[in-house]
A and B are shown apart, each in its own frame.
Chain A
Amino acid sequence: MTSIGTGYDLSASTYSPDGRIFQVEYANKAVENSGTAIGLRVKDGVVLAVEKIIHSKLLMPESNKRILTIDKHIGYTSSGLLADGRQLANRARDESQSSRDFYREPPTLKTIVNRLSLFIQAYTLYSSVRPFGCTSLLASVDKHGPGLYVIEPSGISLGHHGAAVGKGRQLAKTELEKLKLNELSMRQAVYEAARIIHLVHDDAKEKDFELEMSWIGAETNNIHLPVPKDLFEDADKQARDALLEDMED
């Protein structure tokens, strides 16, 4: 990168002459090289799926969850530095609880996303801190219906129909664009999500991975829950079979 060595990339509180903040861009690099995470906002709910890279065979299966719960009705996952993601999840939990304490009702997703964005953005202002090295996906069904937001290290937050972050994001986005997300059911979305994660995973280059999926919507009584085992296994199997068929073709 041309910027390296110019001195404008040493602090988040310094702009480069052409108006960029390199520290924030580097934070995005941490996300771009990490396992893929996708979200599908469909007709009656939202589905989250992540490609959890297994760094070691010694790790327990299903441990070190990548999809977390913020509140009964808010799901969270991130791509990038896992530790930063956990920190942000905890922050979001605190925000959600304090909103409940004050208003005595479940916060809307937008409320939490706005508060979390402000928090993340504050870490792009000072030389004494490092921007968060992760992009967050937040999924919810609130009084406005299903919602899916993405917050980047810059603190920018945008609502999405479908979102993909991490290493396989380009291919995943192409796949998501082919879907009629507004017409899918949650159940269909689970199959699509599993298929996309398996599809974008690069067997040749990557280590082993574990698929992780959660959903929220009509099927879960608007509570954020892991996708039930039987459905998960069926979706996982179909996704694997589809890949094999493609290879044979």
Chain B
Amino acid sequence: MDHHPTNWGRPRDDRVDPYGTFPIHARPRPKEDAFGDAVKHTQQPIVTGSSVIGLKYKDGVMLAADNLASYGSLARYKDVQRLHPVGTSTILGAGGDMSDFQYIQHTLDSLIIEEFTYDDGNKLGPTEIYQYLSRIMYNRRSKMNPLWNSLVVGGIKSDGESFLGYVDLLGTTYQSPTIATGFGSYIAQPLLRNAVDEHPEPLTEEEALSIIQKCMKTLFYRDARSLNKYQVAKVTAEGVTISDPIEAPTVWGFAEGIRGYGAQTQ
């Protein structure tokens, strides 16, 4: 009676338009499972962090993220740390939903404690943490209940090589000498790639820090969901260090000449 593919698989209801007189898209569709709405999954992030940037340099990796957690366009929390050490040779940076990030921090802390209590000399390095996170993120996206984050994992592997990787809410992963998430993928990534590609030798710590600062400053100028207060973390053979909040010197004199910002009213 109704053999059109749009209606395949739908429960047959001959009381309604048995001869298919309605246009296909206007056909009444059977209601979905009555309990379908009972389980609510995260459909959008609420309190969010913006970009995370990172790069490999001579002695290890360096990551940076600002201290802002936004509530929509409201700069809601201005003293939030988005860099989290995991074990003794890994650092995790997060953008996206901050409550999901706190959940991830707790999960990883538990893992590290469990591993510590085994007291078997085995250590979880950045590759293990990266793999673990990718599984968690992919599993959650496969349950249509994602952890709404972009994560950057940096660290020093057991063989002494540095590591820098990315995981996001879809379970997408990649490794790269430079990484920037969110708005930073447009603003900071080109600057980072330039710095690394144009340099014949691996960057020194000073060079790495200076390019990171340049990126964070540019992001503050261009990203409306950013803050001029950020932290820089580094992982070297000596371990993980996270700096106190840093402020980049900025210049706003030019803005006086911009219509809508300065003295002009028209």
Contact B119 A72 (CB under 8 A): no
Could you tell me the distance in whole angstroms from the C-beta of B120 to the nearest C-beta in chain A? Answer: 10
- Residue in B closest to A93 when the chains form the complex, CB atoms: B117
Q: Give the chain A neighbours of B109 by CB distance below 8 A.
A: 100
Q: Give the chain A neighbours of B113 by CB distance below 8 A.
A: 71-72, 97, 100
Q: Give the chain A neighbours of B110 by CB distance below 8 A.
A: 97, 100-101
Contact A97 B116 (CB under 8 A): no
Question: Which one, A68, A104, A226, contacts B117 given CB within 8 A?
Answer: A68
Contact A71 B117 (CB under 8 A): yes
Could you tell me the distance in whole angstroms from the C-beta of B104 to the nearest C-beta in chain A? Answer: 13
- Residue in B closest to A67 when the chains form the complex, CB atoms: B119
**Interface size in chain B (residues, C-beta < 8 A):** 8
Cα distance A71–B116 in the bound complex, in angstroms = 8
Q: Give the chain B neighbours of A104 by CB distance below 8 A.
A: 106
Cα distance A100–B109 in the bound complex, in angstroms = 10
**Which residues of chain B have a CB within 8 Å of any CB of chain A?**
106, 109-110, 113-114, 116-117, 119
Contact A70 B117 (CB under 8 A): yes
Q: Give the chain B neighbours of A93 by CB distance below 8 A.
A: 114, 117
Q: Give the chain B neighbours of A226 by CB distance below 8 A.
A: 119
Select the residue from B109, B113, B114, B116 with max chain A CB neighbours within 10 A: B113
Select the residue from B109, B110, B116, B117 with max chain A CB neighbours within 10 A: B117
Cα distance A72–B110 in the bound complex, in angstroms = 10
Question: Which one, A69, A71, A97, contacts B119 given CB within 8 A?
Answer: A69
Q: Give the chain B neighbours of A71 by CB distance below 8 A.
A: 113, 117
Q: Give the chain A neighbours of B116 by CB distance below 8 A.
A: 69, 72
Q: Is A130 engaged at the interface, CB distance under 8 Å to the other chain?
A: no
- Residue in A closest to B119 when the chains form the complex, CB atoms: A69
Q: Is A65 engaged at the interface, CB distance under 8 Å to the other chain?
A: yes
Q: Give the chain A neighbours of B117 by CB distance below 8 A.
A: 68-71, 93
Could you tell me the distance in whole angstroms from the C-beta of B196 to the nearest C-beta in chain A? Answer: 35
Can you list the 9 inter-chain pairs with the closest CB atoms, starting with the nearest?
A69-B117, A69-B119, A93-B117, A72-B113, A72-B116, A71-B113, A97-B110, A69-B116, A70-B117
Cα distance A97–B109 in the bound complex, in angstroms = 10
- Residue in A closest to B107 when the chains form the complex, CB atoms: A101
Encode contact with B along A32-70: 1 for CB under 8 Å, 0 otherwise: 000000000000000000000000000000000100111
Q: Give the chain B neighbours of A68 by CB distance below 8 A.
A: 117, 119
Cα distance A68–B110 in the bound complex, in angstroms = 17
Could you tell me the distance in whole angstroms from the C-beta of B52 to the nearest C-beta in chain A? Answer: 23
- A sample of 15 inter-chain contacts (CB < 8 A) reads A68-B117, A68-B119, A69-B116, A69-B119, A70-B117, A71-B117, A72-B113, A72-B116, A93-B114, A97-B110, A97-B113, A100-B106, A100-B109, A100-B113, A104-B106
Could you tell me the distance in whole angstroms from the C-beta of B57 to the nearest C-beta in chain A? Answer: 28
Given A97-B113, A97-B114, A65 contacting B106 (CB threshold 8 A) = no
A-B contacts besides A72-B113, A72-B116, A100-B106, 17 pairs, CB < 8 Å:
A68-B117, A68-B119, A69-B116, A69-B117, A69-B119, A70-B117, A71-B113, A71-B117, A93-B114, A97-B110, A97-B113, A100-B110, A100-B113, A101-B106, A101-B110, A104-B106, A226-B119
Q: Give the chain B neighbours of A101 by CB distance below 8 A.
A: 106, 110
- Residue in A closest to B117 when the chains form the complex, CB atoms: A69
Could you tell me the distance in whole angstroms from the C-beta of A105 to the nearest C-beta in chain B? Answer: 11
Q: Give the chain B neighbours of A70 by CB distance below 8 A.
A: 117
Query: From residue 89 to 105 of chain A, which have CB atoms closer than 8 A to chain B?
Result: 93, 97, 100-101, 104
Q: Give the chain A neighbours of B106 by CB distance below 8 A.
A: 100-101, 104
- Residue in A closest to B106 when the chains form the complex, CB atoms: A104
Could you tell me the distance in whole angstroms from the C-beta of A155 to the nearest C-beta in chain B? Answer: 23
Encode contact with B along A209-230: 1 for CB under 8 Å, 0 otherwise: 0000000000000000010000
Cα distance A71–B114 in the bound complex, in angstroms = 8
Cα distance A50–B242 in the bound complex, in angstroms = 38
Cα distance A100–B110 in the bound complex, in angstroms = 8
Q: Give the chain A neighbours of B119 by CB distance below 8 A.
A: 65, 68-69, 226
